[in-house]
């Protein structure tokens, strides 16, 4: 039996909550984690129509990009919009899960879906997050004790690197030391310089495991006072972060890119707006799903020919376009750009369900949740 908690866990593996902005509220925010699930729905916004559809389709879990409870809620009343949504979810037996800025930042998330819809290749984040922090423990141990020490360090959480564990490096060398009065040396004697064939042992560890790994080192190392040090790795850019930058296979006029974008997006009343020269040749493109005002300058600095985002306001857009090296701006309806991610999230759940042999139905809602309903 698949539960709400199981599906939430699959989604959090793909879109780690740690990638969410500090102000965000992601994850399971309504419903029973232990309830069984046979149908999962996906939508951009948890609106009345989207929740009614989930109930009508017999879904026990609704996954949306936007949070249901981002700001404080001080009452749950049927005569208020948020209360009405929470009550409809609970009464319909539908749990709600949100993957928001974590799904923006993650590899395979909202921005990768937007980049893929435009056919961008060689993509990288517009503003990259660093790789997960990592440390290396270096120590020196008599050669016959090296394997037992590595076993103890691995048991304490050291040596995990991507899809590998027990990652380590050893190199032979000679250790020297002189036990002082009062010492109780494992090898050698007080007052005599000792030379020992040792192995230099290097092993990676996550910073959170440092205390456990050092305690394991002290317990497993044969020496009374083992020598060791711990190094922090330089923070390198990861494949996760805000927005994406990539290149088109062939340069196209900005107007043609806007038409392709409009064709790839769900239909909206607002359509795609273009700022700048529609005839400009575009090869390098930045994309950022959702509201992109705050990354205008990052897009200009990235040297792109076009910046695709949403919710651009008059002043930030005008001021950016006044720069001689400004990109063309393509302003897309916020929810339409993010809807491109829904099939990817659905595929994550379907793949995990298939891998566990669970029978699970999924659907992507086609309800348009754009607040702008007409254009004159
Ligand atoms: Zn959004």
Q: CATH assignment of 110-129+239-337?
A: 3.40.1390.30
**3-state SS class at 161:** strand
pLDDT (mean) for 191-217: 96
Please tell me the distance between residue 372's alpha carbon and the centre of ligand 1 in angstroms. 15
Supply the mean pLDDT for the chain.
Answer: 96
Please tell me the distance between residue 368's alpha carbon and the centre of ligand 1 in angstroms. 14
pLDDT (mean) for 283-297: 96
> What CATH topology corresponds to 135-232?
Alpha-Beta Plaits (3.30.70)
Contact 45/87 with Cβ under 8 angstroms?
no
Q: Which of the four pLDDT bands, split at 50, 70 and 90, describes residue 64?
A: very high
Please tell me the distance between residue 110's alpha carbon and the centre of ligand 1 in angstroms. 9
The candidate with the shortest Cα–Cα distance to 323, out of 308, 291, 301, is 301
| 198-202, 266-270, 299-303: the lowest-pLDDT one | 266-270
Superfamily of domain 4-103+341-364: NIF3 (NGG1p interacting factor 3)-like (3.40.1390.30)
pLDDT value at position 361?
Answer: 97
Torsion (CA) 128, 131, 133, 139 in degrees, nearest 10: -140
Please tell me the distance between residue 238's alpha carbon and the centre of ligand 1 in angstroms. 22
| 24-33, 157-166, 225-234, 254-263: the lowest-pLDDT one | 157-166
Please tell me the distance between residue 335's alpha carbon and the centre of ligand 1 in angstroms. 6
Please tell me the distance between residue 283's alpha carbon and the centre of ligand 1 in angstroms. 26
Which residues of the chain does CATH 3.40.1390.30 include?
4-103+341-364, 110-129+239-337
Please tell me the distance between residue 64's alpha carbon and the centre of ligand 1 in angstroms. 10
pLDDT value at position 73?
Answer: 87
| Bridge partners for 200 per DSSP | 140, 171
Q: Which of the four pLDDT bands, split at 50, 70 and 90, describes residue 207?
A: very high
pLDDT value at position 231?
Answer: 98
DSSP assignment of 313-369 equals: -HHHHHHHHTSTTPPEEEE--HHHHHHTTHHHHHHHHHHHHHHHT---EEEE-----
What whole-number distance in Å separates Cα of residue 271 and Cα of residue 251? 23
DSSP assignment of 24-84 equals: ---EEEES-TTSB-SEEEEESS--HHHHHHHHHTT-SEEEESS-SSSS------TTSHHHH
Q: Which of the four pLDDT bands, split at 50, 70 and 90, describes residue 245?
A: very high
Q: Residue 179 has which token pair?
A: 């036990």
Residue 138 clears pLDDT 90, i.e. is over it: yes
The share of the chain scoring above pLDDT 70, in percent, equals 100
Residue 132 clears pLDDT 90, i.e. is over it: no
Please tell me the distance between residue 337's alpha carbon and the centre of ligand 1 in angstroms. 9
Please tell me the distance between residue 342's alpha carbon and the centre of ligand 1 in angstroms. 12
pLDDT value at position 113?
Answer: 96
pLDDT (mean) for 191-206: 96
Contact 107/14 with Cβ under 8 angstroms?
no
∠ CA(180), CA(182), CA(188), 5° rounding? 55
- Sign of the torsion formed by the C-alpha atoms of 272, 276, 277 and 282: negative
Residue 256 clears pLDDT 90, i.e. is over it: yes
Please tell me the distance between residue 258's alpha carbon and the centre of ligand 1 in angstroms. 20
**Model pLDDT for residues 77-98, shown as the tens digit of each residue:** 999 999 999 999 999 999 999 9
Q: Which of the four pLDDT bands, split at 50, 70 and 90, describes residue 162?
A: confident
The candidate with the shortest Cα–Cα distance to 203, out of 159, 261, 173, 246, is 159
pLDDT (mean) for 335-359: 95
Q: Compute CA distances 12 → 89, 129, 161, 163, 289, whole Å.
A: 21, 18, 20, 18, 20
C-alpha atoms less than 13 angstroms from C-alpha of 2 in its C-beta half-sphere: 24
Annotate 288-325 with b (16+ C-beta within 10 A) or e (fewer).
bbbebbebbebbbebebbbbbbbebeeeebeebbeeee
Quickly count: other Cβ atoms within 10 Å of residue 53's Cβ. 18
Task: Kindly report the pTM of this predicted structure.
Answer: 0.83
∠ CA(153), CA(132), CA(157), 5° rounding? 15
C-alpha atoms less than 13 angstroms from C-alpha of 340 in its C-beta half-sphere: 28
In the numeric block, the tokens 């891998």 are attached to 355
Please tell me the distance between residue 343's alpha carbon and the centre of ligand 1 in angstroms. 16
pLDDT value at position 205?
Answer: 96
pLDDT value at position 72?
Answer: 85
Which residues of the chain does CATH 3.30.70.120 include?
135-232
Please tell me the distance between residue 97's alpha carbon and the centre of ligand 1 in angstroms. 15
Q: Residue 168 has which token pair?
A: 């380590």
pLDDT value at position 369?
Answer: 93
**Model pLDDT for residues 99-109, shown as the tens digit of each residue:** 999 999 999 99
């Amino acid at each position: 039996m698949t539960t709400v908690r199981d599906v939430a866990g699959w989604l959090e593996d793909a879109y780690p909550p740690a990638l969410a902005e500090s102000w965000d509220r992601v994850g399971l925010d309504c419903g029973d984690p232990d309830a069984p699930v046979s149908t999962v729905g996906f939508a951009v916004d948890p609106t009345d129509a989207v929740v009614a559809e989930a109930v009508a389709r017999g879904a026990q879990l609704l996954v949306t990009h936007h949070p249901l409870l981002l700001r404080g809620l001080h009452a749950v009343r049927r005569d208020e919009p948020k209360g009405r949504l929470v009550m409809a979810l609970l009464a319909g037996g539908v749990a709600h899960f949100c993957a928001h800025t974590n799904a923006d930042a993650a590899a395979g998330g909202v921005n990768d879906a937007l980049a893929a819809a435009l056919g961008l290749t060689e993509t990288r984040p517009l503003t990259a997050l660093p790789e997960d922090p990592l440390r290396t423990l270096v120590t020196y141990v008599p050669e016959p004790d090296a394997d037992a020490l590595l076993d103890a360090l691995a048991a304490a959480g050291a040596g995990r690197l991507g899809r590998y564990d027990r990652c380590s490096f050893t190199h032979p060398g000679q250790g020297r030391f002189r036990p002082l009065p009062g010492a109780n040396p494992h090898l050698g004697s007080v007052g005599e310089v000792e030379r020992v064939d040792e192995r230099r042992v290097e092993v990676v560890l996550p910073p959170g495991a440092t205390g456990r790994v050092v305690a394991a080192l002290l317990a497993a190392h044969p020496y009374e006072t083992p020598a060791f040090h711990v190094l922090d790795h330089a923070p390198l850019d990861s494949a996760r972060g805000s927005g994406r930058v990539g290149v088109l296979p062939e340069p196209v006029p900005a107007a043609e890119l806007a038409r392709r974008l409009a064709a790839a997006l769900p239909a909206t009343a607002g359509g795609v707006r273009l700022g700048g020269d529609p005839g400009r040749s575009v090869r390098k493109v930045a994309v950022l799903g959702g509201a992109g005002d705050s990354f205008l300058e990052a897009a200009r600095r990235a040297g792109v020919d076009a910046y695709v985002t949403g919710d651009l306001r008059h002043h930030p857009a005008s001021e950016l376009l006044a720069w001689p090296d400004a990109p063309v701006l393509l302003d897309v309806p916020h929810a339409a750009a993010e809807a491109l991610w829904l099939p990817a999230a659905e595929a994550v759940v379907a793949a995990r369900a298939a891998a566990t042999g669970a029978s699970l139905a999924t659907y992507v809602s086609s309800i348009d949740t754009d607040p702008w309903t007409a254009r004159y």
